[in-house]
Structure 1
């Protein structure tokens, strides 16, 4: 069967939920710490004296998150790599090479899995340092701003605290920048890192299995609603070797004549480039819908094109944007100090959920993914 990042999508979901639950818990700790003794005239002094308690609570959340996430990622990588291998077995099962691959029953390639786990650890290490700093900086900032507002007589302490918490919840725990220079909040950054590394694991499991039985060519599917990064590679044949750029090769026909004196048949194959080259240019990015199959010269045909009338790639990105709005207002709801603020945030959540229903109804090719709208289900 063809292999794609979607094979590992459910594995990334578990890790994403860990980060979202942690962020939800951190917002709750912050809101409760600020709300305690809020009517006391000594509120500012009490808050500054309680910084140590908040730090301990935040560090416990961060340590538990790191432990749980590292274990979940290790399990996800092994499972994703294994799924990639099994996809190769299923894909070639009717051929002798498929039976040969199945007979090997190889365990996951430890070096490949370890390398991907190390890459994930390196990418997410700044998260755990940033968590404590971000929450404590926000706490001190709120105390300072609320004290100033109260002295000036502009806002009540409760109103000023809620306004500051709303701003923090709106943006989440931020400050994470990827290699392309883009900024992310904590949960989104972690999700991106996990989806990326598990997608790589499932692809590597597949191509490692193909390489073991000397299948050196693969073909990219034609996926609906493709993004500009992937479009140039749709339906193209790629080499698993090092040679990049478009070129034509003569390859042995996969099914050879059975006669003793029959000549070896070859076919001309146009190769668009290498898989390494295509991935470097964006193919199989997180959320990529494309799949990869073994290309058997003389047997494999190019995939049919998928028409998606009335729906565009931009429509899929609008769906992702609406999901972000829903999660953002759920964070605001988690940071509410009083019932009025909770009701206001809840109304915003329901409003954006209605927008999502309308958007999906207007584009039948889209499917709503409720799990991508959730945050902090465990709390």
Structure 2
């Protein structure tokens, strides 16, 4: 069967939960650190003295997260790569080459898996130092401003602490800049990274398997609700290792006539470019809906084009934005220092959930995914 990033989505979700759990743990650590002794006249002094304990608690969480995430990602990559290979076996199941591929039983510790695991570990290494810095910055900021705020504005240190916690819960641990210059918060950056790397593993397992039996061409599906990055490659034929750019090649027909005097058949194939070229341009980005299948000259037909209804892609992105708001308000509820703050956050959770239902009702091509509205282990 064809391979797509969706083949490894469940693996990415399991790893992403580690980061969400860590973020909730950090919110709880910060909430407790600020709440302890909050009515004492020596609160600010006590907070400054306890900053070492806070640092140790945060570093314990980040060290465990780094170990658990790297291990989970390595296992997920091996599984994703294996699924990609099995997709190739299933795709070629009716052919002798498919049975040959199955018989090879390549071990999951392929060089591609090791390379992707090392790449992920290197890309996410800066996350962990940033986590400690972000939590301590919030803590120092609250304790240094609380006394002055009380004198100048009448705002209590509890209110000042709650406001800082609310902002921290809303934004998460921010400051991660990707190669395109975009800023991310911890859980979203981790999810993007994990989805990307597991999808790459599944695709590489598939194309490695196809390469082993001499396949040279693949074809991209035509998916509804495509994004502008993928649209140019829909339904197009790509070479696994050929030159970039569009070109036409003449190849043997995949099914040759038999018989002593049978003439050899060839077909002209228009190739839109190479697979590495298409991936570099954005094909198979995280959350991509496209799949990739083997192209057999003269046999494989181009997929039918699915017209995207209205502004379908924009509608799905609006749903993703609503999901982020729901998760942000759930984090804020977790950061509440009293019942009033918790109820206030809960009301906004319900308000954004209503918007999610309205967006789905107004756009039939958009599906609601409740698991994307959850945080931590409930997801």
Aligned to 2:333: 333
Contact in 2 for aligned 1:332/1:345 (Cα 8 Å): yes
Are 2:23 and 1:23 equivalent residues in the alignment? yes
Aligned to 1:225: 225
Are 2:294 and 1:282 equivalent residues in the alignment? no
SS of match in other structure, 2:329? helix
Any idea what the Cα deviations from partners look like across 1:188-234, whole Å, max 9, x if unmatched? 01111100000100000000000000010000000000000000000
Aligned to 2:8: 8
Aligned to 1:143: 143
Aligned to 2:348: 348
Matches of 2:7 and 2:186, distance apart in 1: 24
Aligned to 2:376: 376
Aligned to 1:117: 117
Are 2:53 and 1:53 equivalent residues in the alignment? yes
Matches of 1:142 and 1:324, distance apart in 2: 26
SS of match in other structure, 1:251? strand
Contact in 2 for aligned 1:310/1:363 (Cα 8 Å): no
SS of match in other structure, 1:168? helix
Q: Report the Cα offset of residue 28 of structure 1.
A: 0.7
Query: Once superposed, what is the RMSD of the aligned Cα atoms?
Result: 1.3
Matches of 1:165 and 1:285, distance apart in 2: 33
Matches of 2:147 and 2:209, distance apart in 1: 63
Contact in 1 for aligned 2:312/2:365 (Cα 8 Å): no
C-alpha change, 1:109 and 1:217, in structure 2 (3 Å) is farther
Matches of 2:148 and 2:242, distance apart in 1: 63
Q: Report the Cα offset of residue 378 of structure 1.
A: 6.2
User: Which stretches in structure 1 are left out of the alignment for 5+ residues?
Assistant: none
The size of the alignment, in residue pairs, is 379
Q: Report the Cα offset of residue 250 of structure 1.
A: 0.6
Matches of 2:337 and 2:76, distance apart in 1: 37
> Structure 2 length as normaliser, TM-score?
0.98
Aligned to 1:83: 83
Any idea what the Cα deviations from partners look like across 1:119-155, whole Å, max 9, x if unmatched? 1011100111111111011100111111211232521
> Structure 1 length as normaliser, TM-score?
0.98
Any idea what the Cα deviations from partners look like across 1:235-284, whole Å, max 9, x if unmatched? 00000013110000011111111113323211000000000000000000
Aligned to 2:32: 32
> Runs of 4 or more off by more than 6 Å in structure 1?
none
Q: Report the Cα offset of residue 102 of structure 1.
A: 1.6
Q: Report the Cα offset of residue 310 of structure 1.
A: 4.3
SS of match in other structure, 2:376? coil
Contact in 1 for aligned 2:226/2:308 (Cα 8 Å): no
SS of match in other structure, 2:238? strand
Matches of 1:367 and 1:308, distance apart in 2: 15
Matches of 2:109 and 2:300, distance apart in 1: 28
Q: Report the Cα offset of residue 96 of structure 1.
A: 1.8
Bigger mean CA deviation after superposition, 318-327 or 365-374: 365-374
